Amino acid sequence: MPPAADGLSATGYAAGTVGTPRQPGPEDRVVSGQGEALSSEASEQSEASGTPEPLDLRTDQPHSARMYDYLLGGKDHYTVDAEAAEQALAPFPLLRTAARENRAFLGRAVRHLVRETGIRQFLDLGSGLPTAENVHQVAQRVDPSARVVYVDNDPIVLVHGSALLARDAHTAVIQGDIRRPTEVLEDPQVKGLLDLSKPLAVLAVAVLHFVADEEDPEGVVRVLREAVAPGSHFILSHATADLAPEAAMGVQRAYRAQGVPLTLRDRERFTGFFDGLTLIEPGVRVVSDWRNDEVPEAERPDHADVSWYGGIGRLD
């Protein structure tokens, strides 16, 4: 199951730019010292860029990137994120396990593409805050020339990611919205770092369930598919209520109570995101089982405790 989110709409700031953040008040108590560091980074980048427009870090409401960080045991979140995550944990106590399994799937999928298919460029949509085993780290461990563009709508991801990756010429982070894929693809940093005329990997890991049906998530994937070269691959994962209906729907209700349009989808609907692509072996699986040679099957969590599908499709 996914962490809580505030939806996927971008804040309207140009990709790659930051302004002066709204400083957190007493009600925005940071769970760890990292939150204050993020605000400091935003201020420093604002002064350096000279951008007059303010950048609202929205520390008074939960966001998926910081929720995910909390569930993974990270430090880059605020009290509001922790409290929202705990509300989601109430009906699904193993939500942290699910988040970790999804993260492990991401790493295995990226390693597979770099080692087995020759993919050396990645577009990570809804990437979240940097944590352990980020896409660029996994890919560049195999080939240091691998290029990665991270895309997220949370301004804190832009601030923190830009600071972390400032000296990495092969990696960039931009602010964007998966629901507006054409804008993402036209972003100067995307076009400058990635060559869309050559195969690349498009990642939409734990993000499509935040795209409501009326926002046409299949259409989002279709636009991306039609924009990339043959030989490109799509790494997708999605939360489901198939395996633990009562607990999963409890999480969905908790999210929607916070204004988060979380939409759980079944296996058939998730598999439909791969229309026009060839599913590579082993096809759609619960993420904890997808090419998991690292953990014996008997030691993996129950599927109901993960409730997340994943797979990779290839554009032929």
CATH number at residue 175: 3.40.50.150
Note whether residue 22 is domain-resident: no
Residue with token string 């939960």 = 62
- Domain holding 214, by residue range, is 95-244+263-314
pLDDT of amino acid 222: 98
Note whether residue 233 is domain-resident: yes
pLDDT < 70: residue spans in the chain: 1-58
Q: β-strand 233-239 against 201-205: which pairing, if any?
A: parallel
Note whether residue 5 is domain-resident: no
Note whether residue 12 is domain-resident: no
Q: Which residues contact 126 (CB under 8 A, 6 or more apart)?
A: 8, 64, 151, 152, 153, 178, 204, 205, 206, 207, 210
Note whether residue 167 is domain-resident: yes
Q: Is the peptide bond before 282 cis (omega within 30 degrees of 0)?
A: yes
**Using one digit for the tens of pLDDT, what is the confidence trace for 192-213?**
999 999 999 999 999 999 999 9
pLDDT of amino acid 81: 86
pLDDT of amino acid 93: 93
Read off the amino acid at residue 259.
G
**Using one digit for the tens of pLDDT, what is the confidence trace for 215-236?**
999 999 999 999 999 999 999 9
Q: β-strand 201-205 against 171-175: which pairing, if any?
A: unpaired
For residue 179 the two structure tokens come to 């629901």
Domains held by the chain: number: 1
Provide the H-helix boundaries in the chain: 34-49, 64-71, 79-89, 95-116, 135-142, 155-164, 181-186, 188-193, 217-227, 245-257, 267-272
Kindly tell me the sign of the dihedral angle through the C-alpha atoms of 55, 59, 64, 68: positive
pLDDT of amino acid 2: 56
Secondary structure of residue 30 in the 3-state scheme: strand
Note whether residue 113 is domain-resident: yes
Note whether residue 64 is domain-resident: no
pLDDT of amino acid 23: 34
Note whether residue 108 is domain-resident: yes
